[in-house]
Amino acid sequence: MYDLAFIYSDIFKKHAMDRAHPESPLRLDEIMKAVNEIQSEKKYNIATLLPEIIDEEYLLSVHVTDYIDKIRAISKGGGGMITIDTTLNEHTFFIAKYAAGATKQAAQLVDENKARKSFAVVRPPGHHAESTSAGGFCYFNNIAIAAEWLVQYKGYNKVAIIDIDHHFGNGTSHIFYHRKDVFYLSIHAHPRYSYPGSGYSNEIGVVDAKGYNVNVTLLPGINGYDWLHSLKFSLNIVKQYQPEIILVSVGFDSLAGDPVGIMNVEPNAFYGAGFLLNQFAEEICEGKIVCTLEGGYKRDQLKAVSKKFILGLLGNKPDFIHQLERSKVTEHTAKMLNQVKREHQNYWRF
Ligand SMILES: [Zn+2]
Protein backbone atom coordinates (compact mmCIF):
# COMPACT_ATOMS: atom_id res chain seq x y z
CA MET A 1 0.00 0.00 0.00
CA TYR A 2 1.27 3.48 -0.79
CA ASP A 3 1.78 5.78 2.18
CA LEU A 4 0.58 8.58 -0.04
CA ALA A 5 -0.55 8.62 -3.67
CA PHE A 6 -0.65 11.84 -5.66
CA ILE A 7 -2.79 12.21 -8.75
CA TYR A 8 -1.36 14.70 -11.17
CA SER A 9 -0.89 15.49 -14.84
CA ASP A 10 0.33 18.56 -16.72
CA ILE A 11 -3.05 18.42 -18.42
CA PHE A 12 -4.39 20.45 -15.47
CA LYS A 13 -2.41 23.42 -16.77
CA LYS A 14 -4.44 23.60 -20.00
CA HIS A 15 -7.28 25.37 -18.28
CA ALA A 16 -6.17 28.97 -17.89
CA MET A 17 -7.75 32.32 -17.27
CA ASP A 18 -6.28 35.79 -17.75
CA ARG A 19 -2.45 35.81 -17.56
CA ALA A 20 -2.57 37.96 -14.42
CA HIS A 21 -5.19 35.74 -12.75
CA PRO A 22 -3.98 34.41 -9.37
CA GLU A 23 -5.37 30.93 -10.13
CA SER A 24 -2.48 30.32 -12.48
CA PRO A 25 -1.42 26.99 -14.04
CA LEU A 26 2.06 27.67 -12.62
CA ARG A 27 0.77 27.01 -9.08
CA LEU A 28 0.85 23.31 -9.82
CA ASP A 29 4.54 23.37 -10.83
CA GLU A 30 5.44 24.67 -7.37
CA ILE A 31 3.44 22.01 -5.55
CA MET A 32 4.81 19.23 -7.76
CA LYS A 33 8.37 20.42 -7.01
CA ALA A 34 7.60 19.71 -3.35
CA VAL A 35 6.09 16.30 -4.21
CA ASN A 36 9.15 15.37 -6.30
CA GLU A 37 11.55 16.42 -3.55
CA ILE A 38 9.79 14.28 -0.95
CA GLN A 39 9.52 11.37 -3.39
CA SER A 40 13.23 11.56 -4.28
CA GLU A 41 14.19 11.19 -0.61
CA LYS A 42 12.79 7.63 -0.89
CA LYS A 43 11.77 7.71 2.76
CA TYR A 44 8.15 6.99 1.98
CA ASN A 45 6.25 4.77 -0.41
CA ILE A 46 4.89 7.50 -2.64
CA ALA A 47 3.32 7.25 -6.09
CA THR A 48 2.34 9.89 -8.59
CA LEU A 49 -0.45 8.55 -10.76
CA LEU A 50 -2.13 9.96 -13.83
CA PRO A 51 -5.73 11.17 -13.54
CA GLU A 52 -8.74 9.59 -15.16
CA ILE A 53 -11.58 11.64 -16.61
CA ILE A 54 -14.82 11.54 -14.62
CA ASP A 55 -17.75 9.59 -15.96
CA GLU A 56 -20.62 12.06 -16.47
CA GLU A 57 -22.84 9.80 -14.39
CA TYR A 58 -20.82 10.85 -11.34
CA LEU A 59 -20.89 14.54 -12.31
CA LEU A 60 -24.66 14.24 -12.39
CA SER A 61 -24.76 13.02 -8.81
CA VAL A 62 -23.84 16.57 -7.79
CA HIS A 63 -24.57 18.89 -10.73
CA VAL A 64 -27.75 19.33 -12.78
CA THR A 65 -27.76 18.48 -16.50
CA ASP A 66 -28.48 22.05 -17.65
CA TYR A 67 -25.48 23.35 -15.77
CA ILE A 68 -23.13 20.67 -17.12
CA ASP A 69 -24.42 21.42 -20.63
CA LYS A 70 -23.82 25.13 -20.12
CA ILE A 71 -20.17 24.62 -19.10
CA ARG A 72 -19.69 22.23 -22.03
CA ALA A 73 -21.22 24.73 -24.49
CA ILE A 74 -19.17 27.74 -23.32
CA SER A 75 -15.97 25.70 -23.50
CA LYS A 76 -16.86 24.25 -26.89
CA GLY A 77 -17.48 27.77 -28.18
CA GLY A 78 -13.90 28.69 -27.32
CA GLY A 79 -14.53 29.92 -23.78
CA GLY A 80 -16.01 32.95 -22.07
CA MET A 81 -16.83 34.59 -18.81
CA ILE A 82 -19.16 33.00 -16.28
CA THR A 83 -18.60 35.44 -13.42
CA ILE A 84 -16.28 38.44 -13.30
CA ASP A 85 -13.34 36.38 -11.98
CA THR A 86 -14.23 32.93 -13.30
CA THR A 87 -13.72 32.37 -17.01
CA LEU A 88 -13.44 29.36 -19.27
CA ASN A 89 -11.16 28.58 -22.16
CA GLU A 90 -11.69 25.91 -24.80
CA HIS A 91 -10.22 23.23 -22.51
CA THR A 92 -11.99 24.09 -19.27
CA PHE A 93 -14.89 21.62 -19.51
CA PHE A 94 -12.56 18.76 -20.33
CA ILE A 95 -9.96 19.67 -17.69
CA ALA A 96 -12.58 20.27 -14.98
CA LYS A 97 -13.82 16.73 -15.69
CA TYR A 98 -10.26 15.49 -15.15
CA ALA A 99 -10.00 17.41 -11.86
CA ALA A 100 -13.22 15.76 -10.65
CA GLY A 101 -12.01 12.41 -11.94
CA ALA A 102 -8.69 12.74 -10.12
CA THR A 103 -10.42 13.55 -6.83
CA LYS A 104 -12.80 10.59 -7.16
CA GLN A 105 -9.78 8.44 -8.06
CA ALA A 106 -7.98 9.69 -4.92
CA ALA A 107 -10.99 8.54 -2.88
CA GLN A 108 -11.03 5.20 -4.68
CA LEU A 109 -7.34 4.52 -3.96
CA VAL A 110 -7.92 4.99 -0.26
CA ASP A 111 -11.21 3.10 -0.25
CA GLU A 112 -9.57 0.12 -1.96
CA ASN A 113 -6.61 0.19 0.45
CA LYS A 114 -4.18 0.89 -2.38
CA ALA A 115 -3.10 4.05 -0.60
CA ARG A 116 -3.38 5.06 3.02
CA LYS A 117 -3.64 8.66 1.95
CA SER A 118 -4.07 10.41 -1.36
CA PHE A 119 -3.82 13.90 -2.75
CA ALA A 120 -5.33 15.06 -6.04
CA VAL A 121 -3.12 17.97 -7.12
CA VAL A 122 -5.65 19.51 -9.46
CA ARG A 123 -7.03 22.64 -10.98
CA PRO A 124 -9.55 24.02 -11.50
CA PRO A 125 -10.47 23.83 -7.82
CA GLY A 126 -14.02 22.92 -6.83
CA HIS A 127 -15.35 23.94 -3.44
CA HIS A 128 -17.15 27.10 -4.60
CA ALA A 129 -19.05 25.25 -7.35
CA GLU A 130 -22.72 24.81 -6.46
CA SER A 131 -24.86 22.15 -8.09
CA THR A 132 -26.20 24.74 -10.54
CA SER A 133 -23.49 27.39 -10.78
CA ALA A 134 -19.78 28.16 -11.07
CA GLY A 135 -17.88 30.79 -9.09
CA GLY A 136 -14.66 31.54 -7.23
CA PHE A 137 -12.51 29.90 -9.97
CA CYS A 138 -14.53 26.63 -9.62
CA TYR A 139 -16.72 24.75 -12.12
CA PHE A 140 -17.37 21.25 -10.81
CA ASN A 141 -17.26 20.46 -7.12
CA ASN A 142 -14.47 17.90 -7.07
CA ILE A 143 -14.67 17.00 -3.39
CA ALA A 144 -18.47 16.78 -3.36
CA ILE A 145 -18.36 14.43 -6.35
CA ALA A 146 -15.85 12.20 -4.53
CA ALA A 147 -17.91 12.24 -1.30
CA GLU A 148 -21.09 11.44 -3.20
CA TRP A 149 -19.35 8.58 -4.98
CA LEU A 150 -18.29 7.09 -1.63
CA VAL A 151 -21.85 7.30 -0.32
CA GLN A 152 -23.80 6.27 -3.42
CA TYR A 153 -21.49 3.71 -4.94
CA LYS A 154 -19.43 2.42 -2.02
CA GLY A 155 -22.01 2.43 0.75
CA TYR A 156 -20.31 4.84 3.15
CA ASN A 157 -22.59 6.18 5.91
CA LYS A 158 -20.29 8.81 7.38
CA VAL A 159 -17.95 10.87 5.24
CA ALA A 160 -16.35 13.98 6.79
CA ILE A 161 -15.19 16.83 4.59
CA ILE A 162 -12.73 19.15 6.29
CA ASP A 163 -12.14 22.38 4.39
CA ILE A 164 -9.01 24.25 5.46
CA ASP A 165 -8.96 26.65 2.50
CA HIS A 166 -9.02 30.35 3.43
CA HIS A 167 -12.51 30.63 1.92
CA PHE A 168 -15.81 29.07 2.87
CA GLY A 169 -16.62 26.22 0.47
CA ASN A 170 -20.15 27.41 -0.19
CA GLY A 171 -20.76 24.82 -2.89
CA THR A 172 -19.73 21.85 -0.76
CA SER A 173 -21.64 23.15 2.25
CA HIS A 174 -24.87 23.70 0.31
CA ILE A 175 -24.71 20.41 -1.58
CA PHE A 176 -24.70 18.50 1.73
CA TYR A 177 -26.60 21.01 3.89
CA HIS A 178 -29.55 18.65 4.45
CA ARG A 179 -27.44 15.51 4.83
CA LYS A 180 -26.08 13.58 7.79
CA ASP A 181 -24.07 11.10 5.76
CA VAL A 182 -21.66 13.86 4.69
CA PHE A 183 -20.43 16.14 7.47
CA TYR A 184 -18.92 19.48 6.46
CA LEU A 185 -16.46 21.43 8.55
CA SER A 186 -14.89 24.60 7.24
CA ILE A 187 -12.46 26.97 8.94
CA HIS A 188 -12.38 30.17 6.92
CA ALA A 189 -12.09 33.93 6.86
CA HIS A 190 -15.17 35.65 8.25
CA PRO A 191 -17.73 36.21 5.48
CA ARG A 192 -18.09 39.87 6.41
CA TYR A 193 -14.55 40.42 5.10
CA SER A 194 -14.10 37.79 2.45
CA TYR A 195 -15.46 35.93 -0.54
CA PRO A 196 -18.03 34.28 -0.86
CA GLY A 197 -19.85 36.41 1.76
CA SER A 198 -21.58 33.42 3.34
CA GLY A 199 -20.45 30.74 5.78
CA TYR A 200 -21.50 32.32 9.11
CA SER A 201 -21.29 30.14 12.20
CA ASN A 202 -25.07 30.03 12.50
CA GLU A 203 -25.29 28.12 9.20
CA ILE A 204 -25.43 24.71 10.85
CA GLY A 205 -27.49 22.53 8.48
CA VAL A 206 -31.25 21.96 8.26
CA VAL A 207 -33.96 19.69 9.69
CA ASP A 208 -32.38 16.55 11.12
CA ALA A 209 -28.98 17.48 9.64
CA LYS A 210 -28.62 20.42 12.06
CA GLY A 211 -25.13 20.28 13.55
CA TYR A 212 -23.66 18.52 10.53
CA ASN A 213 -22.40 21.74 8.94
CA VAL A 214 -19.82 23.49 11.08
CA ASN A 215 -18.50 26.90 10.02
CA VAL A 216 -15.62 28.32 12.00
CA THR A 217 -15.14 31.95 11.03
CA LEU A 218 -11.80 33.63 11.59
CA LEU A 219 -10.99 37.33 11.63
CA PRO A 220 -8.57 39.08 9.26
CA GLY A 221 -4.93 38.87 10.29
CA ILE A 222 -5.28 35.65 12.28
CA ASN A 223 -1.92 33.99 12.97
CA GLY A 224 -0.83 30.38 12.65
CA TYR A 225 -1.34 29.52 16.31
CA ASP A 226 -4.92 30.69 16.35
CA TRP A 227 -5.55 29.00 13.03
CA LEU A 228 -4.19 25.68 14.30
CA HIS A 229 -6.06 26.01 17.58
CA SER A 230 -9.23 26.54 15.61
CA LEU A 231 -8.52 23.43 13.55
CA LYS A 232 -7.85 21.40 16.68
CA PHE A 233 -11.00 22.72 18.34
CA SER A 234 -13.01 21.79 15.24
CA LEU A 235 -11.54 18.31 14.95
CA ASN A 236 -12.96 17.63 18.39
CA ILE A 237 -16.43 18.04 16.85
CA VAL A 238 -15.63 15.84 13.84
CA LYS A 239 -14.35 13.21 16.27
CA GLN A 240 -17.81 12.89 17.76
CA TYR A 241 -19.21 12.29 14.28
CA GLN A 242 -16.86 9.29 13.95
CA PRO A 243 -16.31 9.43 10.17
CA GLU A 244 -15.29 6.36 8.20
CA ILE A 245 -13.05 8.46 5.95
CA ILE A 246 -11.85 12.06 5.81
CA LEU A 247 -11.80 14.20 2.70
CA VAL A 248 -9.82 17.42 2.90
CA SER A 249 -10.19 20.55 0.78
CA VAL A 250 -6.61 21.78 0.97
CA GLY A 251 -6.06 25.47 0.36
CA PHE A 252 -2.87 27.35 1.07
CA ASP A 253 -4.41 30.81 0.75
CA SER A 254 -4.53 31.47 4.52
CA LEU A 255 -0.79 31.95 4.23
CA ALA A 256 0.49 35.41 5.20
CA GLY A 257 0.88 37.53 2.10
CA ASP A 258 -1.38 35.48 -0.15
CA PRO A 259 -2.63 37.87 -2.87
CA VAL A 260 -6.22 36.66 -2.41
CA GLY A 261 -6.21 36.09 1.36
CA ILE A 262 -6.53 38.31 4.42
CA MET A 263 -5.10 35.93 7.03
CA ASN A 264 -1.61 35.95 8.43
CA VAL A 265 -0.83 32.25 8.86
CA GLU A 266 2.88 31.35 8.93
CA PRO A 267 4.19 28.54 6.67
CA ASN A 268 4.94 26.27 9.66
CA ALA A 269 1.29 26.20 10.61
CA PHE A 270 0.65 24.11 7.48
CA TYR A 271 3.11 21.55 8.83
CA GLY A 272 1.01 21.55 11.99
CA ALA A 273 -2.23 21.21 10.01
CA GLY A 274 -0.92 18.19 8.09
CA PHE A 275 0.22 16.63 11.35
CA LEU A 276 -3.06 17.25 13.18
CA LEU A 277 -5.09 15.84 10.28
CA ASN A 278 -2.91 12.74 10.11
CA GLN A 279 -3.02 12.21 13.87
CA PHE A 280 -6.77 12.62 13.83
CA ALA A 281 -7.28 10.19 10.93
CA GLU A 282 -4.99 7.60 12.54
CA GLU A 283 -7.09 7.76 15.67
CA ILE A 284 -10.52 7.80 14.02
CA CYS A 285 -10.43 6.07 10.62
CA GLU A 286 -7.26 4.02 10.11
CA GLY A 287 -5.43 7.03 8.72
CA LYS A 288 -7.72 7.37 5.69
CA ILE A 289 -7.35 10.86 4.25
CA VAL A 290 -8.19 11.99 0.74
CA CYS A 291 -6.96 15.49 -0.15
CA THR A 292 -7.82 17.65 -3.12
CA LEU A 293 -6.32 21.01 -3.96
CA GLU A 294 -8.40 24.17 -3.73
CA GLY A 295 -6.73 27.61 -3.41
CA GLY A 296 -3.33 29.04 -2.53
CA TYR A 297 -1.86 31.79 -4.67
CA LYS A 298 1.42 32.97 -3.14
CA ARG A 299 3.41 31.21 -5.81
CA ASP A 300 6.90 31.92 -4.46
CA GLN A 301 6.00 30.07 -1.25
CA LEU A 302 3.73 27.32 -2.57
CA LYS A 303 6.53 24.79 -2.85
CA ALA A 304 7.74 25.34 0.71
CA VAL A 305 4.31 25.45 2.26
CA SER A 306 2.93 22.41 0.44
CA LYS A 307 6.05 20.46 1.37
CA LYS A 308 5.45 21.27 5.02
CA PHE A 309 1.81 20.23 4.79
CA ILE A 310 2.67 16.94 3.06
CA LEU A 311 5.41 16.09 5.58
CA GLY A 312 2.91 16.65 8.38
CA LEU A 313 0.38 14.49 6.58
CA LEU A 314 3.01 11.75 6.41
CA GLY A 315 3.16 11.74 10.20
CA ASN A 316 6.13 13.99 10.90
CA LYS A 317 5.67 15.96 14.07
CA PRO A 318 6.61 19.65 14.14
CA ASP A 319 8.59 20.69 17.24
CA PHE A 320 6.22 23.51 18.03
CA ILE A 321 3.08 21.39 18.18
CA HIS A 322 3.23 20.84 21.95
CA GLN A 323 3.00 24.61 22.42
CA LEU A 324 -0.54 24.44 21.08
CA GLU A 325 -1.62 22.99 24.41
CA ARG A 326 -0.03 25.82 26.35
CA SER A 327 -0.51 28.95 24.31
CA LYS A 328 -3.78 30.83 24.44
CA VAL A 329 -5.71 32.09 21.46
CA THR A 330 -6.33 35.80 21.07
CA GLU A 331 -9.55 37.27 22.40
CA HIS A 332 -10.93 37.65 18.87
CA THR A 333 -10.43 34.00 18.04
CA ALA A 334 -11.82 32.89 21.42
CA LYS A 335 -14.95 34.87 20.61
CA MET A 336 -15.27 33.17 17.23
CA LEU A 337 -14.87 29.71 18.76
CA ASN A 338 -17.43 30.53 21.44
CA GLN A 339 -19.91 31.40 18.72
CA VAL A 340 -19.41 27.92 17.25
CA LYS A 341 -19.94 26.37 20.70
CA ARG A 342 -23.16 28.34 21.16
CA GLU A 343 -24.53 27.35 17.75
CA HIS A 344 -23.65 23.68 18.15
CA GLN A 345 -24.11 23.05 21.88
CA ASN A 346 -27.32 21.09 21.29
CA TYR A 347 -25.59 18.74 18.88
CA TRP A 348 -22.02 18.22 20.12
CA ARG A 349 -20.10 18.17 23.39
CA PHE A 350 -17.54 20.89 24.12
ZN1 LIG B 1 -9.58 29.88 -1.24
The Cα–Cα gap between 235 and 238 comes to 5
Would you place residue 323 in the very low, low, confident or very high pLDDT band (cuts 50, 70, 90)? confident
Task: For residue 62, report the distance from its CA to the centre of ligand 1, in Å.
Answer: 21
Is 126 in contact with 109 (CB distance < 8 Å)? no
DSSP conformation class of 289: E
Which residues surround the ion ligand 1 when the cut-off is CB under 5 Å?
A: 165-167, 251, 253, 295
Structure confidence at residue 326 (pLDDT):
77
Res. 327: pLDDT tops 80:
no
The Cα–Cα gap between 303 and 298 comes to 10
Task: For residue 290, report the distance from its CA to the centre of ligand 1, in Å.
Answer: 18
Centre a 10 Å sphere on the Cβ of residue 340 and count the other Cβ atoms it contains.
24
Its sign, for the CA torsion 254, 256, 259, 262, is: positive
Structure confidence at residue 135 (pLDDT):
97
Res. 139: pLDDT tops 80:
yes
Res. 332: pLDDT tops 80:
yes
Structure confidence at residue 313 (pLDDT):
98
Res. 325: pLDDT tops 90:
no
What does the pLDDT average to over 54-77?
97
What does the pLDDT average to over 125-153?
98
Task: For residue 43, report the distance from its CA to the centre of ligand 1, in Å.
Answer: 31
What does the pLDDT average to over 288-295?
98
Catalytic residues: 128
Angle of helix 142-154 relative to helix 92-111, nearest 10 degrees, comes to: 50
- Percentage of the chain beyond pLDDT 70 is 100
Architecture of domain 2-344: 3-Layer(aba) Sandwich (3.40)
What does the pLDDT average to over 47-53?
98
Task: For residue 164, report the distance from its CA to the centre of ligand 1, in Å.
Answer: 9
pLDDT in tens, 188-220: 999 999 999 999 999 999 999 999 999 999 999
DSSP for 235-264, written as a single string: HHHHHHH--SEEEEEE--TTBTT-SS---B
pTM of the model as a whole: 0.98
Would you place residue 94 in the very low, low, confident or very high pLDDT band (cuts 50, 70, 90)? very high
What does the pLDDT average to over 118-146?
98
pLDDT in tens, 112-128: 999 999 999 999 999 99
Mean of the per-residue pLDDT values for the chain?
A: 97
What residue spans define the domains of the chain? 2-344
What does the pLDDT average to over 228-239?
97
pLDDT in tens, 220-231: 999 999 999 999
Task: For residue 45, report the distance from its CA to the centre of ligand 1, in Å.
Answer: 30
Res. 144: pLDDT tops 90:
yes
- Percentage of the chain beyond pLDDT 90 is 97
Would you place residue 232 in the very low, low, confident or very high pLDDT band (cuts 50, 70, 90)? very high
The Cα–Cα gap between 247 and 60 comes to 20
